[in-house]
Chain A
């Protein structure tokens, strides 16, 4: 009878092994294979790809850009998403539901469609906003948006904002409104209550939202591909190009595995920070 729990785990384990472990191991293995323009992939064990990825300044720039973009996206999402969640939480009953839908609605639309929307607004001379601003004589040349890092950051922030709002909102809902009243009764003004009472309590929510947004931003493909294009590559578009354009699968695999390792390190570090900082406060 003792075997029953293990037996019950088997289907899930098989599925997990089949769809995660096996492909992942194969990717890792692939990153050690050799590749040549004419010979294709050779199943040997060499460190050439890793050496190239780790030493070539082209790749350094790419990874630096990936994490710079992810960092600013996370920062912007927290800066706008946390207050958004707070305001949402203070709304009265019909409005709260309506605006929650407004905020989460974009999740129902394809990322590609949402990103193309930005391209329509800011894309070169024909972008709607650029045209309008130039028409009004406010700017003489179109605002640079396409193929810029700023453009990628803005569009990604828009795409990923709902995740931050949801994470912060969940932690706001756990707050006891009487705790805020207690602070008010002790003489705290609205701003003090926000800064000293509410913010520290939702900090774990903001941090977990930040981890989600950071991971999704660093591994995002569609938005950097559309806004950044070939000129402004990040790790995921680079891996894509190596796989599908250059056909250098082993190099692409090395890039993908490196991105995965870096993300795991960041997430693990953030979790450690949250746990150590908040363990005794929030059981």
Chain B
């Protein structure tokens, strides 16, 4: 039996099922990502675990106990909201200390734990600031510290990195993964960014219209997508003669599927090709190794592993 279990979890708004019979088991210490397009029910799922949205039907169990029977204030979960939801009238240290205060932790211990946690997220020197005086990335780390300091049984993250620019996001992804490894907290991350989900998590849940289309390790879902939706959502795909082929698996060869290069786009570390073939337009991604590459209008042959 898994540590956190969602069983046939359903939530409807009117006639529309925002979450539709979702079943998922999360092991202790595992990092699971809920991945899917906008409006597929990720936030609703997270809010049901947190207790701010009531399920229409289904069950949630944590460590074998019925979580739905417990009030949101007593669930002991750490939550990082999409909007951070920091307390604007409290300093960073007061924000982080709030959860400990609610638990009745003594002032002296509170101070050391707040300092430790702020150190962990790299904000040791910022305790006296107010949230308004910090950047988006720093605020996000405060929210993370506030959730981590109470040593939650489960950490719920709702698109915590979506407001950051690409560079900061990458840095925060690495930090988040390191922190999660160090602390070992069971974590559920909601995101619509497939690269983020694959980079961070042990398993991903690809959701579509309230249902889980596939649950599994990232590389497995990427290599062996269960449905065309999963294949498309996790990356670019080609449908050639009924077979799904990832663009980076296709190479230019001496013989094979014949075609003409329609467009060639340089993207720094790789080239992106669109090739006209008898079986339709094929997307090809080739590493930029510095070698000469076919240009637009050139006649080429495409080959890939497993091609009949």
Interface residues of A (CB under 8 A from B): 176, 178-179, 181-189, 192, 196-197, 200-201, 280-283
Contacts and interface: CB of A to CB of B under 8 A. Distances in A.
Given A184-B73, A186-B102, A201 B88 contact: yes
B97 to A, nearest CB: 10
Contacts of A179: 85-88
12 contacts: A179-B85, A181-B81, A183-B98, A184-B52, A185-B50, A185-B73, A185-B75, A186-B102, A187-B99, A187-B102, A188-B73, A280-B133
A184 B150 contact: no
Contacts of B132: 280-283
A182 B152 CA distance: 14
A132 to B, nearest CB: 46
A283 B73 CA distance: 30
Given A181-B52, A280-B130, A188 B102 contact: yes
B146 to A, nearest CB: 7
Interface in B23-82: 50-52, 72-79, 81-82
Nearest to A179: B85
A182 B102 contact: no
A178 B85 contact: yes
B83 interface: yes
Contacts of B88: 179, 201, 281-282
A200 B130 CA distance: 14
Contacts of B85: 176, 178-179, 181-182
Contacts of A186: 98-99, 102, 146, 150
Contacts of A185: 50-51, 72-73, 75, 77-79
Nearest to B74: A187
B16 interface: no
Contacts of B182: none
Contacts of B82: 178
Given A178-B83, A181-B50, A185-B77, 13 more contacts: A179-B86, A181-B52, A181-B79, A182-B81, A184-B73, A187-B73, A187-B74, A187-B76, A188-B98, A196-B98, A201-B89, A280-B132, A282-B89
A149 to B, nearest CB: 36
A251 to B, nearest CB: 48
A281 B99 contact: no
Contacts of B72: 181, 184-185
B83 A176 contact: yes
B151 to A, nearest CB: 12
A189 B72 CA distance: 10
Contacts of B103: 187
Grouping DSSP codes into helix (H, G, I), strand (E, B) and loop, the A interface class, with mixed when no group exceeds half, is: helix
Contacts of B76: 187
Interface string B247-264: 000000000000000000
B91 to A, nearest CB: 9
A176 B143 CA distance: 15
B80 to A, nearest CB: 9
A183 B130 contact: no
Nearest to B103: A187
Nearest to B100: A186
Contacts of A187: 73-74, 76, 99, 102-103, 150
Contacts of B102: 186-188, 192
Contacts of A176: 83, 85
A93 to B, nearest CB: 15
Contacts of A188: 73, 98, 102
A280 B83 CA distance: 20
Contacts of B130: 280-281
Closest 3 CB pairs of A and B: A187-B102, A186-B99, A178-B85
Of B74, B75, B86, B99, the most chain A CB neighbours within 10 A belong to B99
A200 B89 contact: yes
Nearest to A186: B99
A212 B59 CA distance: 52
B87 A197 contact: yes
Interface string B146-164: 1000100000000000000
A182 B73 contact: no
Contacts of B146: 182, 186
Interface string B117-144: 0000000000000101100000000000
A183 B97 CA distance: 11
A283 B132 CA distance: 7
B94 to A, nearest CB: 10
Contacts of B51: 185
Contacts of A184: 52, 72-73
Nearest to B99: A186
Contacts of B83: 176, 178
A122 B103 CA distance: 52
A200 B87 CA distance: 10
Nearest to B94: A196
Contacts of A196: 98
Of A181, A185, A281, A282, the most chain B CB neighbours within 10 A belong to A185
A183 B86 CA distance: 9
